[in-house]
Amino acid sequence: MGVDYGGKRVGIALSDETGRFAYPYEVMKNGKTLAQRVSKVCEKERVGRVILGRSLDYKMKPNVVMSRIENFKNELEFVSGLEVIYEDEFLTTAEAERVLGRDGKTDAVAAAIILKSYIDKHS
């Protein structure tokens, strides 16, 4: 599973059974129960690992949202029992918007970009 964490919305992407392709799955509203809701998707879809975008600024340093991402990572690992791995992401939402324009699936497409980047590096 790929996750693009945002303050308001969180994009979710999944890979195919072979682990070669990434596709947008869902956009969730961020909130107090986010880790539990993501964990339920992991269980339903038999996810073995979560790839979480590490948010960086233009100097490739962690940006202001990174502390919230770290908290989400820790909570998701605890709730789901799954390994959560960071994948550096830079302008993935902007890239998704170039493809789709701004619509309801943009954040899920950004998550698919993060997941595909991880897959490409590790296959």
The CATH number covering residue 94 comes to 3.30.420.140
Q: What is the total count of domains within the chain?
A: 1
Show the domain range for 95: 2-121
Instruction: Determine the pLDDT at residue 1.
Output: 97
pLDDT in tens, the chain (123 residues): 999 999 999 999 999 888 889 999 999 999 999 999 999 999 999 999 999 999 877 787 878 889 999 999 999 999 999 999 999 886 666 665 566 656 668 889 889 989 998 999 887
Instruction: Determine the pLDDT at residue 88.
Output: 84
CA distance linking residue 47 with residue 92, whole number of Å: 22
CA distance linking residue 59 with residue 94, whole number of Å: 17
pTM over 0.85: yes
Tokens for 93, please give them: 């939402």
CA distance linking residue 94 with residue 96, whole number of Å: 5
Q: Say which residues have a Cβ less than 8 Å from residue 39's Cβ, sequence separation at least 6.
A: 76, 79, 80, 82
- Alpha helices in the chain, H assignment, sequence order: 34-44, 66-80, 92-100, 106-121
Instruction: Determine the pLDDT at residue 12.
Output: 97
